Amino acid sequence: MKAGGEAFLVHLIFQRHHIPPDETYNKDEGTKRFMYASMMLQLEEEAKARREERQAARRMKS
């Protein structure tokens, strides 16, 4: 699955929030856009936290 693609986001929503794919796909377009944007925001925040943790670890080694 391509990260950021619709199927990937539906997979993450199912994995993390236990909303089956058919329920996600059957939502109206506005709701789906919100769900996908929310999931993308969460992924971005997690990536930022990982970057900050790596930077902090590098600083501690110095």
Domain count, the chain: 1
* Domain-embedded: residue 19: yes
Domain with 29 in it: 6-61
* Domain-embedded: residue 1: no
pLDDT (mean) for 4-28: 96
Which of 2-6, 15-19, 53-57 comes out lowest in average pLDDT? 2-6
**pLDDT single digits (tens) 19-44:** 999 999 999 999 999 999 999 999 99
Can you spell out the DSSP letters for the chain? Answer: --TTSHHHHHHHHHHHH---HHHHHTS-HHHHHHHHHHHHHHHHHHHHHHHHHHHHHHHHH-
- Residues whose CB falls within 8 Å of the CB of residue 9, separated by 6 or more in sequence, listed in order: 35, 36, 39, 40
The model's pTM: 0.82
Give pLDDT, residue 15: 98
